[in-house]
Amino acid sequence: MDDIEKRSGTVQSVDRAMAILEVLGEDEEGCRLTDIARRTGLSVSTVHRLLTTLEQRRFVQFDRSDGMWHVGRGAFAVGSAFTRQRNFVAPALPILRRLRDQTRETANLGVVDDGEVVVLTQVESREIMRAITRVGGRAPMANSGMGKAILASYADADIDALINRQGLRKATGKSITSVAVLRDEIAAIREKGFAFDDEEFVTGLRCVASVVYGPQAEPLCAISISGLSVRVTDDRVEALGKLVAEAARELTVSLGGRAPER
């Protein structure tokens, strides 16, 4: 172990292997060896050596027909444990399916992890043109519908602490970068019971979301629908918000949760 590893408490080879898995997890079509090397900043020989080791443990797999590397079933088995320990995923699925059918849009379930929202599961829209919200995808809380819905359930002091720690990132031209604007938005979310992401993380994608609470009135997760902005039009937002808020209330009740008293 070199001096840098001793000081940081990290193991370089493990860190590099995780970086490779993250790159593969971002691309469902798979990646070529040279692409992985470019995106991780590692040499081709180092990437090949690590891929070979990961392949032996079935964390990655190689498709010889097109020369592409993909996430393997070993990585899926480990990653799915994260979902299994969230015991609200199974009860949420029938609610998400109904929400998808009611709205014709993709229904999502997400949780907060390290100040960002992670999509745990989703039920895809049946529309030919539909929103792409990758399971496992992450977004800053202030840039996403689910993130803002959960953020609005926090105490003001906790919101301030999160903003001070992470700032407000500009992902698109519509991202909220003003603390004052975010405060106004949070007040509106608390009043309406749902949050609205107006292309604030992905251009052309809109999202309507509401928070799900646990037994101690703590925010557990959030439910949302996401759709293309040409279909999630301004005149639909209010009606969609009511459907999503009702779905979130139903999941809250099924989990033995309760909304906090305002």
Give the C-alpha separation, 227 to 180, whole Å: 27
Residue at 261: amino acid letter: E
Give the C-alpha separation, 235 to 231, whole Å: 10
CA–chain centroid gap for 184, Å, is: 24
Is the distance from CB of 255 to CB of 214 less than 8 angstroms?
A: yes
**Strands laid side by side in the 205-213 sheet:** 138-140, 116-123, 106-113, 219-228, 205-213, 195-198
The tens-digit pLDDT sequence of the chain (262 residues) is 444 444 455 688 898 998 998 888 877 788 899 999 999 999 999 999 999 999 888 888 998 888 899 888 777 667 665 555 557 788 999 999 999 999 999 999 999 988 899 998 999 988 877 666 777 788 999 999 999 999 999 999 999 998 998 889 899 999 999 999 999 999 999 999 999 999 999 999 999 999 999 888 889 999 999 999 999 999 999 999 999 999 999 999 988 888 887 6
31-68 residue pLDDT tens: 899 999 999 999 999 999 999 999 888 888 998 888 89
Give the C-alpha separation, 73 to 57, whole Å: 9
